[in-house]
Amino acid sequence: MATPCRLLLILLGIVAVAVAAPHPAHEFCAAAAGGGGAGSCGGDGTRILIKGGTVVNAHRAEVADVYVEDGVVVAVRPNIPVGEDNVKVIDATGKYVMPGGIDPHTHLEMEFMGTVTIDDFFSGHAAALAGGTTMHIDFVIPVNGNLTAGLESYKHKAEKSAMDYGFHMAITKWNDEVSKEMEVMVKEHGINSFKFFMAYKGSLMVTDDLLLQGLQKCKSLGALAMVHAENGDAVAEGQQRMIDLGITGPEGHALSRPPVLEGEATSRAIRLAKFINTPLYVVHVMSIDAMEEIAKAKREGQRVIGEPVVSGLVLDDSWLWDPDFATASKYVMSPPIREAGHNKALQAALSSGILQLVGTDHCTFNSTQKAFGSDDFRKIPNGVNGNP
């Protein structure tokens, strides 16, 4: 994806956010919290000096000052003199100063499983900013398979945005029109990552022949193919098996889609991407099974990106067995949160570079929405909170 037109800075406990109007060349934007803004990504005259904090970057941490003009970091070094009366000075002594987080995986105001995620582009942004995330990339869901209609819908939803955002695009069907629209998305809208769902049979799921055609199109466009890796056919069988056994609660969700089905789909997607010779991004890696397939491919030199998410890194499936439905249903997502041990293995894989970045898969539903599946786990809207 292209880079956002502003660098946004987060100080733990204190947020310094520069705002600007949308950039016309691509689908990133930085909109004022109250909505609107005018012009392009030009300056607004804001000058901020953050003094004495511990500045944390990828290469080191050091006590330094950070000087910001018009939302752009101009200097990072100790003892920067103020020099002017119109500079806002923030004392960051004893605090960490870090670049704002970028969340590569969110679902704001998404229509899914008969309802709509509860966070929109304002409330979701407010939560993200409060937690130190200053940019995210959301997934556009086509309207009846139409990519252009889907993009227009999401652009309308994002009019209330309060921070930088970008778009991935989901591909849920295949024909000549979709193929042409993918090219338009890349060349005219700056969307160069496309997601294929290997799960959710009967709604979002794509077949192997569609996935192959999509991978080939991504290769020809220089775009990045992404997959939700679960064997959707086997999941549907597993779900029915649980219902037949009388297991209808949230625990049935995890039991119906075990790690082996995530591992199988991850392996299949990796091999198809290798056959086409195109890079692959595996979203929300939740199991050792999937992680090991990614590790194997990377050892063999294949270009595969693995994305764990916060819930999979820190939680285990014991929450799904809570006797209180309202509590247990909060943790229903797909692929499911795994049994203890998977999270620690994913943490180790992230630390060693097997997995490369962290998303949230922020996809929130309230307790009323989760209650749609109070007597059948298959009807519980899938998704957990990730921001902040």
Measure Cα distances from 160 to 29, 36, 69, 125 in Å. 11, 8, 25, 9
Predicted local confidence at residue 41, as pLDDT? 34
Is the Cα torsion angle 180, 186, 187, 190 positive or negative in sign? positive
Which pLDDT does position 46 carry in this prediction?
Answer: 85
95 Cβ partners below 8 Å, 6+ apart?
11, 12, 13, 14, 53, 54
Structure tokens at 144: 């009846």
Q: What is the pLDDT of residue 85?
A: 73
Please tell me the distance from the alpha carbon of residue 81 to that of residue 39, in angstroms, as a whole number.
31
Tell me, what amino acid is at 58?
Answer: A
Three-state DSSP class for 217? helix
Report the amino acid identity of residue 192.
N
Architecture, CATH, for domain 101-379: Alpha-Beta Barrel (3.20)
Q: Are 171 and 214 in contact (CB under 8 A)?
A: yes
Q: Which fold has domain 9-99?
A: Urease, subunit C; domain 1 (2.30.40)
pLDDT of residue 39: 28
Q: Which of 272, 270, 253, 268 is nearest to 336 (CA)?
A: 253
Nearest CA among 144, 148, 209 for reference residue 183:
148
Per-residue model confidence (pLDDT) at position 82: 79
| Predicted pLDDT at 83 | 72
Local mean pLDDT, 10-residue blocks, the chain (388 residues)? 35 32 33 31 70 93 95 93 84 95 97 96 95 95 97 98 97 96 98 98 96 98 99 98 98 98 99 99 99 99 98 97 98 98 98 96 97 98 84
Kindly report, as residue ranges, where domains of CATH 3.20.20.140 are found in the chain.
Answer: 101-379
Helices (H) and strands (E) in the chain, counts: 12, 16
Domain with CATH 2.30.40.10 in the chain: 9-99
Cis peptide before 388 (omega within 30 of 0): yes
Residues 369, 372, 377, 382, Cα dihedral to 10°: -30
Dist. CA 383–CA 106, nearest whole Å: 10
Q: Is 341 exposed, middle or buried (0-12, 13-18, 19+ CB in 10 A)?
A: exposed
* HSE-up of residue 380 (Cα within 13 Å, Cβ side): 30
**Residue 84's pLDDT is what?**
67
- Helix or strand run (H / E) with residue 69: strand 61-69
Confidence at residue 308, expressed as pLDDT on a 0 to 100 scale: 98
Long-range contacts of 64-67 (CB under 8 A, 24+ apart): 66/9, 66/97
Other beta carbons less than 10 A from residue 219's beta carbon: 15
At residue 22, the pLDDT reads 35
Q: Is the peptide bond before 335 cis (omega within 30 degrees of 0)?
A: yes
- Contact between 292 and 298 under an 8 Å Cβ cutoff? The reply is no
The residues that bridge with 280 in the sheet, in sequence order, are 225, 304
